[in-house]
Amino acid sequence: MSNDNKTGLTSIAELGEFGLIDHLTAKFTSKQASTVKAIGDDAAILDYNNEQVVVTTDLLLEGIHFNLTYTPLKHLGYKAVAVNLSDVYAMNATPRQITVSIGVSQKMAVEHMDELYEGIALACDRYNVDLIGGDTSASLTGLTISITAMGTAAANKITRRDSAETNNLICVSGDLGGAYMGLQLLEREKEVFQSSGGGQPQLEGYEYILQRQLKPEPREEVVQLLDKLGIQPTSMIDISDGLSSELMHICTKSGKGCKIYQDKLPIDAETSKMAEEFKLEPIIAALNGGEDYELLFTIEAGDFEKLKEEKIISVIGHITEQEEGAYMVSASGQEITLQAQGWNPLEKK
């Protein structure tokens, strides 16, 4: 491959569509027994024996879902896979394969695509999934990435949103609001950078919330822990749009209400500190901030003893009858009605 003299980058036109596909996918080898044939034919071939299959897909558009001014392409590739796998874990299933389709904008060179695929490969290795195909096209409107993930589980393990029962305990993994505060920090530093003509961003001391925003990890270990503890969750969802919104999904689909307690919500110290800098209540970030990719699930009350010592899981409330409504008891004892404030890019501003 020869380089463009001015930029030192390799133009995609030089490789052509098939050359680019070969170049990007050459290093991927299959790890899963269920992958019979991966990249290279009209379709991939999979064999899941007797397990049930879950399939989920996500579309990521430049300028809507990610901003290339502060998102390194390698992180973007990793995150694009991670958020898909999060949906598979949220079904209490194990991810097996992904497909990756890309729309490549004119400003992208082969080296940029290499970075993106490095991130994709890292996530595939970390979560033991195979890249089994995709599609590649030019794009006139910026970089587009669509990933589909396939996972499997025994039929009696798969966990839906619509099956929470009254008096079930509501549990959440990890901590909340960090990814949102990481995004606020990045947006702030971008503004400073643009208005000062290139001042260095102030990001020290906030590594955790930046990592929550730029390199989220799907909660594989929570699914494995529940299995080890012998707990079958009664319902589950991953937190992509904020706790409040996801809890409302479980309640609405299950025909139930809920009661959660402010002082039980897990919030990291860095998240609180950043929220205070922005004059924002940390609880708002925890309830409405998106992209934490923690798991929200319900369990039978009798399973409490099995997980009460697990630091990674917080019990934050319980499911009630639908007529009782969905609300949070604040630290001062007030009852605050929960609202689905999920981020809606289709909404007119």
Give the footprint of ligand ADP on this chain (CB under 6 A).
18, 21, 24-25, 39-42, 100-102, 131, 133-136
Residues near Mg ion, by CB under 5 A: 135
Least separation in angstroms between CB 101 and Mg ion: 8
From the list ligand ADP, Mg ion, none, pick the one residue 276 interacts with, judged by a Cβ distance below 5 to 8 Å according to partner type: none
Long-range contact list for 188-191, CB < 8 A, 24+ apart? 189/70, 190/67, 190/69, 190/70
Q: Which is nearer to ligand ADP, 66 or 117 (CB)?
A: 117
> In angstroms, what is the minimal distance from the CB of 69 to ligand ADP?
24
Q: How far is the CB of 29 from ligand ADP (least distance, A)?
A: 13
Nearer to ligand ADP, 101 or 322 (CB): 101
Q: Which is nearer to Mg ion, 139 or 341 (CB)?
A: 139
For residue 107, count CB atoms less than 10 angstroms from its CB and return exposed for 0-12, middle for 13-18, buried for 19 or more.
exposed
168 with 234: CB under 8 angstroms? yes
Residue nearest Mg ion (C-beta atom): 135
Least distance in angstroms from the C-beta of 122 to Mg ion: 24
For the CB of residue 1, give the shortest distance to ligand ADP in the complex, in Å. Answer: 18
In the bound state with Mg ion, the residue whose beta carbon lies nearer, of 47 and 135, is 135
CA separation for the pair 296, 51 (Å, rounded) = 24
Please state the three-class secondary structure of 268-300 as a single string. Answer: CHHHHHHHHHCCCCHHHHHHHCCCCCCEEEEEC
Determine the Cα–Cα distance for residues 133 and 38; give it in Å rounded to an integer: 6
Find the shortest distance in angstroms from Cβ 16 to Mg ion: 13
Q: Determine the Cα–Cα distance for residues 214 and 322; give it in Å rounded to an integer.
A: 37
Identity of the residue, 38 or 275, whose beta carbon is nearer to ligand ADP in the bound complex:
38
H-run or E-run covering 304 = helix 304-307
Distance CA 118, CA 120 (A): 5
Nearer to ligand ADP, 39 or 223 (CB): 39
- Which one of ligand ADP, Mg ion, none interacts with residue 100, CB within 5 to 8 A by kind? ligand ADP
Q: Which does 267 bind (CB under 5 to 8 A by kind): ligand ADP, Mg ion, none?
A: none
Contact partner at residue 107 from Mg ion, ligand ADP, none, CB < 5 to 8 Å by partner kind: none
Q: In angstroms, rounded to a whole number, what is the distance separating the alpha carbons of residues 313 and 318?
A: 14
Q: How far apart are CA 23 and CA 2, in angstroms?
A: 14
Q: Tell me if 92 sits within 8 A of 303, measured CB to CB.
A: no
Residue 166 touches which of ligand ADP, Mg ion, none (Cβ within 5-8 Å per kind):
none
